[in-house]
Amino acid sequence: MTELWRLPATELAHLIRTRKVSAREAAQAALDRLDAVNPQINAIVAHRPDWVLEQADQVDELVARGKDPGPLAGVPVTVKINTDQAGFATTNGTRLQEHLVAQANSPAVENLRRAGAVLLGRSNSPTFALRWFTSNLLHGSTRNPRDPSLTPGGSSGGAAAAVASGIGHLALGTDIGGSIRYPAYACGVHGLRPTLGRVPAYNASSPERPIGTQLMSATGPIGRTIEDLRVALVAMSAPDLRDPWWVPVAIEGPPVPLHAALCLRPGGLQIAKEVEAALLDAGQRLSDAGWTVEQIDDTPSIREAAEVQERLWLGDGFEALADAAARDGDPGALAVVAASRAKVEAMPDDVINRSLVRRTTLMRQWRLFLSKYPVLLLPVSSELPFPDGLDLQGEEGFRRVWEAQLTMRALPAMGLPGLTVTTNLVGATPVGVQIVAAHYREDLCLLAGKAIEARGVPLSPIDPVA
């Protein structure tokens, strides 16, 4: 029989529900895999084996009594360190929050538990979740299991590295500028950033977030199959009154024509030949699956959307962030603050108000565009996954990273959903594509993603490369 930690989440849950394996066996397999490979990649920075087994026993007890344990029955799932999980510190990768222990689960974590998932451990992220690289002074650096010279992505780098190496079958991540989509791309797995309001979010351990962050941040799953992402999304999207942004919209929307747009160079972005090849290949895969794929020259105002994202993110509370970064001392966080200071100082006093007004216009443009093209294929990044630490290689390195991540930065400004689908390897380096759809049409992202996935993706999980 295939080792349990290798199985897709949906297949494992079926085996547990039908009593072919126990949740305890699955949990023990996940713990053994964590012990075997985590020392090489440092993806998981906190876990409690006894509690993991206790959760599994609770699932097995429900099964034994003939009760429904949930769609994720016994599936080991990891949770990012910036998300509240009762009994664990919400460190956010900073020594300043090393002892900030959550008293209650965040809504998405609670929803996963209700769906039968077993919370396996806490995944690493950069300090304050600021970078597309994953290191901090509290927990250390996470390595990409496919190639340790490459970034595992960020800020959900530990989450993606864990999924790719078989530590848990799914991971909970967060995304305000690519923090789910980019780590999935870098580690050769799939990642879904849902629409604003689809998955409820709230950290009772922390102060209320600024309005810009509230409007752009999303919680979503990272996994090895598109079907696993779908089941996880359904589970995570259950209502929770603690999030006023949550919206009761059906997961499946009305049928639309299978019509996709393919944009190779949004906003004039210059892309690597391997990225272009991956996009054209994905377009052909969709065409082979019966979609009409139309190549277009550009999208609505993507560079302006990236500027709005930057202003909403940095325009409120920057000095508090700068002070916290200085007190923590993390080089990556300090580099982001240093590179952003001149931009922030040039912002008008009413930057948030102006940005919110402009956001409305951009959302209208994109809604009209996506009514014509139900699905849009874009680069995840203009480059293959970066050499690890590239953003710390002076101003040129930072600018290169910032420009490459144009689509990562732009789409959250409008609260749009986005799905990264891994499609191939260039040597040992993953490459993939990004699928965008209208608000609350994650189902279309997943539909297109499944068609692309069906025509081949990199092997996963893998043993980490030394």
State the CB neighbour count (10 A cutoff) for residue 55.
19
Decide the pairing of beta strands 76-80 and 44-46: unpaired
State the CB neighbour count (10 A cutoff) for residue 57.
15
Spatial separation of the C-alpha atoms in residues 36 and 175, rounded to whole Å: 29
State the CB neighbour count (10 A cutoff) for residue 313.
25
Calculate the alpha carbon distances from 379 to 5, 397, 447 in Å: 31, 20, 18
Spatial separation of the C-alpha atoms in residues 321 and 383, rounded to whole Å: 29
CA dihedral 379, 381, 387, 393 (to 10 degrees): 150
Contacts of 8 (CB under 8 A, 6+ apart): 169, 224, 225, 227, 228
Are residues 96 and 205 in contact, defined by beta-carbon separation less than 8 angstroms?
no
DSSP output for 321-388: HHHHHHHH--HHHHHHHHHHHHHHHTS-TTHHHHHHHHHHHHHHHHHHHHHH-SEEEE-S-SSSSPBT
Q: Residue 70: which of 86, 58, 80 has the closest Cα?
A: 58
Catalytic residues: 80, 155, 179
Q: What is the DSSP letter of 96?
A: G
User: 107: cis peptide before it, omega within 30°?
Assistant: no
Decide the pairing of beta strands 190-193 and 170-175: unpaired
Q: What helix, strand, coil percent values describe the chain, rounded to 5?
A: 45, 15, 40
